[in-house]
A and B are shown apart, each in its own frame.
Chain A
Amino acid sequence: MPPRLPASICAIRKYLTVANKSRLEPRSRSPIFQRLIGLETEYALHIPASSSQGTLSRYGLYLQLRDALKRLIPAVEARHMKEGIFHAGGGAVWFETERPAAGGGLIEGATAECRGLRQLLAQQRAQDSLLSDAAKRAFGKEKIRLLKNDRDAKGNIYGSQENYSAEFASSWRLWLWRGALVAMLPLMLFTWAMLWLLTLGIITYTLLATIFYLGCERFIRQPEGLARALFGCTMEELGRAAPTGPRWLEAFLSFITRVITAPLAAALFTAIWLTAFVRIRRQMLPFLLSRAVTSGAGMLDDCGRFHLADKAPAMNCLTGIGGLLADRPIFTFGHLFKTVYAENWLPNDYFTLFSSQQRLQIALGDSNMAQFAEYLRVGTTLLVLDCIEAGAMPPVPKVLRPLKALRAICADPTLRTTVPLVGGGNCTALQLQRFYLEACRRFLDEQEHPLVEAREVIEHWEETLDALEEDSQSLVGSLDWVTKRWVLEKAGRGASWQTRKKIDLKYHELSPDGYYERLRSTGVAQDLLSPEEVESARRNPPLGTPATVRGRFIREFAGGAEAVSANWKAVYIGQGRRTKVIRLASYRRSLPPEGPSKDERVEQR
């Protein structure tokens, strides 16, 4: 039984009284855990300075990892704006090109699209396991390891993003969005033209630089220096180590691309802010602000203070494009922006933006080592989304100054901090979570056939909130921030900041030496998935999703005589005019009625 709420937040309780019951009339068949979901995870690399690979660029390391992965599972090249592969499990592995010429670049894994909580958990763990094994094969002797975390010791941020298929807008907001897309078309055309001109400029530069280099090569004693200045690498390395050119060119292109796309980004952001997921964003925000109490990964800051979450303190806006102007939003719409300005070479992609169902991307959330924390992070979010879309969410408490509240919540591992609410009163993060727990419980109670999996989430959610109030140490091994804090306390206050920060980081290492993995080996952490489930997910795509078909075709045709590539929308077999295109769109909306083969649409170009 949850403890009684203090009078200061009685406003929260009143929404769940008999007076409001008419708002919550039975909606017997609301879809629960049916939407497509997926996780993206950026992994850091631990590259010992003593390693012989230490001089290799991150792109070079990615290539080695990719080749090792291809030996573990059939995979094909991605037909996408960034470099990567799709594998037979339905998911993808990317080289996330954040300033690679300047030493940047990350390994990113994207799970296959899933349609269920357990399915997604299994896919995420299969991805961690596959990449960890690939890293061992590729760099085993060098002890280069992957870390599933969100922030390095210098404060650089990366990590996890969640994707949920959801209702983008309805009624007048949907029409406003569609009108804005049409109105923005001239600006899009102008932006594309400018980007094409920029591409032409890069080609011209490459040609002129090559001619200049070949002309000068014979007359210079050390042509490597000239090659590095012009191409970013020596001629021997060209094509395998630095695909992006020299640093100065990369910095220039990064700047000029931002300038060219800024007007379109501003227009798109305005349209998004007015129309995109407005109800979901409004009703979900307090839930997300307080979600770190169950699924934060924990973080030691520069002053040695412990925070519940790694990524949350870095959030600087609620809604944004993500990265374009150093914005780090909670709800990020970079994928829509990329569709408008970069991936839109075919009319098909532009028209997908008119759909009322789009991908809701949440950037506020940490990569989890503990299966239970990952389960709660996604499971509770799914339930809240289902409840909101069914119209069953009572009016939510509005948090004043949300970003300040987020930081305050995360900075207090005792969970006693209160945040002010609009209209007066204060409440703690646990109380906010309980509000959503009660709303979701009531939503499930009204269902004719509530899903067992959803019921289990409610039970685990409540038990976790109870334990956090009564004895948080009982959650060691289950919640990441609790486990990490416990290890840090055992290390003692006398330990140096560097030692404590190493605990913070190495907790996330995907190897038997990683601290969470070591604790897990003692049995202190209880896994939700059996090893057989993870092993199965390593080899098989999730059923009833576009990934089912993608994975099947990749397994069938990868390594064959014909060139095969894939992306999130289709699989391409063959080349040129005879390319067969297997479109996956029919699998996005609902479960296929009679198995994959019925709904496949195979086209011949």
Chain B
Amino acid sequence: MPLETLAPPSPPSNSAIPAPVTVANVLSAIIVDAAAAAGEYLRDTEVPHGGE
């Protein structure tokens, strides 16, 4: 699928049917997930003192 033609997914007509795994669907899900508790995620992935 050409990436330029991606459009936001249309809402499913029946919530019992899982949305197909498409780039557009996954991208939308990622953006929604990223907005949720972002500050906590950053805090919980801290690596004190780093490494080599």
A interface residues (Cβ-Cβ under 8 A, vs B): 40, 42, 44-49, 96, 98-99, 102-104, 106, 108, 147, 152-154, 156-159, 161, 322-323, 332, 334, 363, 473, 476, 486-487, 490-491, 495-496, 498-503, 505-506, 513, 515, 518-519, 521-522, 524
Contact = CB atoms under 8 A, between A and B. Distances in A.
A-B pairs with the 3 shortest C-beta distances?
A: A158-B51, A156-B50, A104-B49
18 contacts: A42-B52, A46-B44, A48-B40, A48-B44, A49-B43, A49-B44, A102-B48, A103-B49, A104-B49, A157-B51, A161-B52, A473-B3, A486-B3, A495-B35, A501-B42, A505-B45, A518-B30, A521-B26
Interface centre among B39, B41, B44 (most CB of A within 10 A): B44
Contacts of A322: 52
A45 B47 CA distance: 7
Contact of B30 (A96, A102, A147, A503): A503
Contacts of A158: 47, 50-52
A46 B52 contact: no
Interface of B is mostly: helix
Contacts of A502: 34, 38, 41-42
A69 to B, nearest CB: 19
A502 to B, nearest CB: 4
Contacts of B4: 473
A48 B22 CA distance: 29
Nearest to A155: B50
B51 A522 contact: no
Contacts of B44: 46-49
A501 to B, nearest CB: 6
B50 to A, nearest CB: 4
B39 to A, nearest CB: 5
Given A153-B43, A156-B47, A158-B51, 7 more contacts: A48-B40, A104-B47, A487-B30, A490-B27, A500-B34, A501-B42, A515-B34
Nearest to A513: B33
A50 to B, nearest CB: 9
Contacts of A487: 27, 30-31
Nearest to B41: A502
B21 interface: yes
Contact of A157 (B29, B33, B48, B50): B50
A45 B45 contact: yes
Interface of B: 3-4, 21-23, 26-27, 29-31, 33-35, 38-52
A487 B31 CA distance: 8
Contacts of A513: 33
Contacts of B51: 42, 96, 98, 106, 108, 157-159
B30 A498 contact: no
B45 A46 contact: yes
A104 B52 contact: no
Contact of B47 (A152, A496, A500): A152
A229 to B, nearest CB: 21
A16 B3 CA distance: 38
Contacts of A334: 52
Nearest to A158: B51
Contact of B49 (A102, A363, A500, A515): A102
A520 B12 CA distance: 23
A158 B4 CA distance: 35
A258 to B, nearest CB: 14
B46 A147 contact: no
B16 to A, nearest CB: 21
Contacts of A108: 51
B18 to A, nearest CB: 13
A363 B51 CA distance: 11
A96 B52 contact: yes
Contact of B48 (A99, A500, A503, A505): A99
Contacts of A40: 52
Contacts of B38: 496, 498-499, 501-502
B52 A363 contact: yes
A44 B45 contact: yes
The residue in A40, A102, A332, A503 that gathers the most chain B C-beta atoms within 10 A of its C-beta is: A503
A99 B51 CA distance: 10
Nearest to B4: A473
B41 A46 contact: yes
A135 to B, nearest CB: 14
B42 A153 contact: yes
B30 A153 contact: no
Nearest to A103: B48
A463 B14 CA distance: 44
Contacts of A519: 23, 26-27, 30
A486 B43 CA distance: 24
A434 B40 CA distance: 43
A264 B38 CA distance: 45
